[in-house]
Amino acid sequence: MAKRQIGIGLLYSRSGSYSLISEACRAGALAAIAEVNADPDRDLAFVPVERDPQGNVDLYGPLCEEILRDTPVRHVIGCVTSWSRKEVIPTLERHGGTLWYAVPYEGFEASDHVVYTHACPNQHLLPLLDWVMPAHGRKAYLTGSNYIWGWEMNRLARERITQAGGEIAGERYLPIGSRDVGRMIDEIRYARPNFILNSLIGPSSYEFLAAYRDLGLRDAHFLPQSCPVLSCNMTECELPAIGLAAEGLVAAGPYFRGIDGWPGAGRFGSSHEAAAYVAVLELARLLHGHPGAEALPLSQLVAQGGAGGIIDPETHHTVLPALIARVEGGAFRLLHRRAGVAGDPYLTRGTSAVIAPQLRVVS
């Protein structure tokens, strides 16, 4: 019997400041599409419909609209930055589409039109801070790219650290793509924190890590074993661009290459690739045996999917391991693991949650 042909959107920038992450996500999605299409037991095949915003945030909304308006596609795998994700949500709402988002983000969002297959703060930032403060101290310096990811990650970090009796030694932001890290390094050298939370992205992060390594060579206080740099968005896909400056970096995420767990040791190049792969396979599972289900609203699609699903019907987040790993010899080595952490975007389910003063549901 011929398979049903179902369009699936891919909305990733193949150039620009975060192209390495985009390419990793795209590779994972395409690998899963090929697997679904080759599976004789599946009654469907995906037909990719790609658009490339080229790193221009102003193009995400129009290109997503083009996909949903001009083709039968109702499910889009895509977006890297939170800025771009929020740009497409109104378009998804108008056209009844669903975005499958495979990148870590800052939380405080639950949309009827988004599935979040990567980690939110209770799955990356909070476990990372809970690990680092007993091990290294409670005096932190916060960096970030000047948009929602940096702002919100540092806001949550400030609350968690001060709740634990710590202090913020400094906080500074850079425009996306900026390499002007000199003032950050000067402030860090003066403040002498116990650790640094790095929420920069792309070339800004690469430049910062290179400058910080040079600082460590001049002053032993800033060597990784004394004052580590922490990240919630750094994965293997960016290590070649960083080189030796990545040594000692400590990162949190649901997957690291070669480490047993979700969705299997050594199979994927990074958690970005793994999360996009998982997104496509879960969509295939939900659509298999249900002709026309691709047009259902997300809540109905998840409800009719039955047992075995990975999506929380309340928040549309997923259950993930929370892993903490350090770069040693060019690869991540596991330091700490929490298994089966349910996504809690509003940090309301745990007794030690950080509660934001204003909560907003994007619907």
Q: Are strands 139-145 and 195-199 parallel, antiparallel or unpaired?
A: parallel
pLDDT reported for residue 265: 85
| pTM to 2 decimal places | 0.94
Spell out the per-residue pLDDT of the chain, length 363, in tens.
689 999 999 999 999 888 999 999 999 999 999 999 999 999 999 999 999 999 999 999 999 999 999 999 999 999 999 999 999 999 999 999 999 999 999 999 999 999 999 999 999 999 999 999 999 999 999 999 999 999 999 999 999 999 999 999 999 999 999 999 999 999 999 999 999 999 999 999 999 999 999 999 999 999 999 999 999 999 999 999 999 999 999 999 999 999 988 998 889 999 999 999 999 999 999 999 999 999 999 999 999 987 789 999 999 999 999 999 999 999 999 999 999 999 999 999 864 444 343 334 443
Q: Which of 113, 74, 111, 7 is nearest to 295 (CA)?
A: 74
> Is the separation of the CB atoms in 88 and 79 below 8 Å?
yes
pLDDT of residue 1: 67
Domains annotated for the chain, with CATH where assigned, are: 4-119+258-320 (3.40.50.2300), 122-253+321-342 (3.40.50.2300)
Block residue for tokens 């988002």: 101
CA dist 175 → 53, 118, 151, 232 (Å): 19, 25, 12, 19
- CA–CA distance, 268 with 72 (Å, rounded to integer): 30
Strand boundaries in the chain, DSSP class E:
4-11, 44-51, 75-78, 98-101, 114-116, 139-145, 167-174, 195-199, 229-231, 250-253, 319-328, 331-342
Q: Computed from CA positions of residues 268, 270, 273, 276, in that sequence, does the dihedral angle turn out positive or negative? A: positive
Paired with 47 in beta bridges are 7
Sign of the Cα pseudo-torsion (346, 348, 353, 355, in order): positive
